[in-house]
Amino acid sequence: MNKEIVIGANSYNKLKLPPMTLVLLEFTSNDWWLRDIKRDYRFVEAIFKEAGHPTQMRYLRPGKETEDVWTARRQCHFSAMHARGAKGPEKCFGTDICVPLPKLTEMIDFTEEKFQEANKACYLCAHISDGNYHLIIPYADKAEFELLQSIEEKMIKKAIALGGTITGEHGIGCCKVCYVVQEHGQAHIDVQEAIKKALDTDNVMNPGCFYPSQVAQYHPSHL
C-alpha cells in the first residue's frame, strides 16, 4: 500500500496507521511458541534494514493492531472512493500491471512519476510477491477518466518493455484488447483466435472480448 492509499484508509476506516508506504507480511506457523515465525521475522527484518528502506518495522501480534492493518488493505477500494472528500463515493478507475520482480521497483517508480506529472494522486495497492499491483483512482468526469486512460496506456507500454504483462489478474476484457498483439505478437494471437473459432463456432463464449477480431465485430467492446 502506498502512502496515498494509507492516508485514505485512515480517513475512511478511522484508523491511525503511519502515513507512509506499508509493506505487510503475514507469517504462519504450527509451532505453539511461534519460534519459527520469530526466526523468519528476524531474517526479513535484517534484509529490510540492510536495504535501508524501512522508516520503522513492527511485529504485530494477533489482535486489534493486526486487524487494523489488514482492514486498511481489504478496504483499499472503498478508501479510494472516499479519498478526495467528495459528498458521496466517487467512481474509481481500476487497472493492474504485472512485471518480473526484478523490474517491480522501476515499474512502480515510473507509475508514480506519471501520476505526479499529471498532478493526480496515485492510489496503489499490491500483492507484490508476484509482481502485480493495482491502481484504484477516483474520478469525477469524462476528462479525468480520459486522463487516467492515457496514464494507463503509458504504464502498459512500459510493462511490456520490461517483459511484463498488461494485466496480472483483472483480465483483458474489452478495454485492453488493443494491447494484446503488442504483448504477444500477431502470430500468437492468430493461433488463439483460430482455436476459439474452432471450439466456439456460434461465438457464444465472451463475444466482443479479448481478441481483436471480436472488437471488430462488436463495437460496444470499445467502451
Domain check: are 201 and 178 in the same one?
yes
Domain check: are 10 and 30 in the same one?
yes
Cα separation, 167 vs 176, in Å, equals 8
3-state secondary structure the chain: CCHHHHHHHHHHHCCCCCCCCCCCCCCCCCCCCCHHHHHHHHHHHHHHHHHCCCCCCCCCCCCHHHHHHHHHHHCHHHHHHCCCCCCCCCEEEEEEEECCHHHHHHHHHHHHHHHHHCCCCCCEEEEHHHCEEEEEEEECCHHHHHHHHHHHHHHHHHHHHCCCECCCCCCCCCCCHHHHHHHHCHHHHHHHHHHHHHHCCCCCCCCCCCCHHHHHHCHHHHC
Domain check: are 162 and 213 in the same one?
no
Model confidence at 219, pLDDT cuts 50, 70, 90, reads low
pLDDT at 217 over 90: no
Q: Do residues 61 and 132 make contact, with C-beta atoms less than 8 angstroms apart?
A: no
Domain check: are 95 and 72 in the same one?
no
Please write the tens of the pLDDT for every residue from 136-150.
Answer: 999 999 999 999 999
Please write the tens of the pLDDT for every residue from 19-66.
Answer: 988 888 888 888 888 889 989 999 998 988 888 776 788 888 888 888
Range of the domain at 126: 86-170
Domains held by the chain: number: 3
User: How far is residue 146 CA from its own chain's centroid?
Assistant: 19
Find where cell 492516508 sits.
7
Domain check: are 159 and 143 in the same one?
yes
What are 16's three cell numbers? 491511525
Domain check: are 156 and 127 in the same one?
yes
Domain check: are 70 and 39 in the same one?
yes
Could you tell me the pTM of the whole model?
A: 0.86
Backbone angles phi, psi at 180, to 5 degrees: -65, -35
Domain check: are 32 and 107 in the same one?
no
Domain check: are 110 and 33 in the same one?
no
Domain check: are 165 and 103 in the same one?
yes
Distances (CA, A) of 6 to 11, 43, 70, 153, 195: 9, 26, 11, 25, 45
Please write the tens of the pLDDT for every residue from 150-171.
Answer: 999 999 999 999 999 999 888 8
Domain check: are 46 and 92 in the same one?
no
